Amino acid sequence: MTVRRKLLIATRNAGKLHEYCQLLADLPVEVTSLEEEGITEQVEESGQSFVENAVQKAVEYARLSGLWTWADDSGLEVDALGGEPGVRSARYAGPNANDEDRYRLLLQRMRDVPRGQRSARFRCAIAIATPDGRVEVAEGSCEGKITLSPRGEYGFGYDPVFYVPEYGRTMAELLPEEKNKISHRARAARVAREILCRMLDGG
């Protein structure tokens, strides 16, 4: 029988935390957060890739908390902008910017890019680390296009300007249960779930 284990989700983003809680709801883990654990330290994301940043966060927060830790790094890559904002997605419009500031800046920088050249993808890397130094990584992506203007009330981040062709809607127009089937985070999380289950079973 699998023992229920406390799992720290190392994010301060309420939207991400909620999504992961839903995605992990049926596993034998007790999800906790940085806030609940009283962890105020900020781990610098100095990696050159989503995987490097996810691993940095997972390893450091596992060390600080003494708990198994699930951390991610994710972002948007726009082909017409040479892959920007990439690993800088959360910091794209400066340190005090909000989600709308970031996607408005993106739209402004793409104002002269024609419809047929607005391809983009969301990428996500998830790292699971244990306090004794074990680390496992999962990745996921979702292809789409950048819209000319924001649409939709759901989601967060760049969701209002990310059009998903297979649904004919932006990510922010998808219901949460729809997004949780096809998002980059959901795809990475499905792989990470399998890894976590194996780790919980002692594999």
Ranges of beta strands (E only) in the chain are 5-9, 29-33, 68-78, 119-129, 135-146, 162-164, 169-170
Contact between 190 and 181 under an 8 Å Cβ cutoff? The reply is no
- Angstrom distance (rounded) from CA 137 to CA 39: 23
Tell me if residue 31 falls in helix, strand or coil.
strand
Neighbours of 138 (CB within 10 A): 22
In the DSSP assignment, the letter for residue 145 is E
C-alpha dihedral sign at 16, 19, 21, 27: negative
How far does the chain reach from its first CA to its final CA, in angstroms?
14
| DSSP conformation letters of 50-88 | HHHHHHHHHHHHHHHHSSEEEEEEEEEEEGGGTT-BGGG
Catalytic residue among 72, 73, 101, 132: 73
Identify the CA nearest to 170 among candidates 189, 180, 155, 185. 155
- Our answer to whether residue 72 is catalytic in this structure is no
Catalytic positions, please? 73
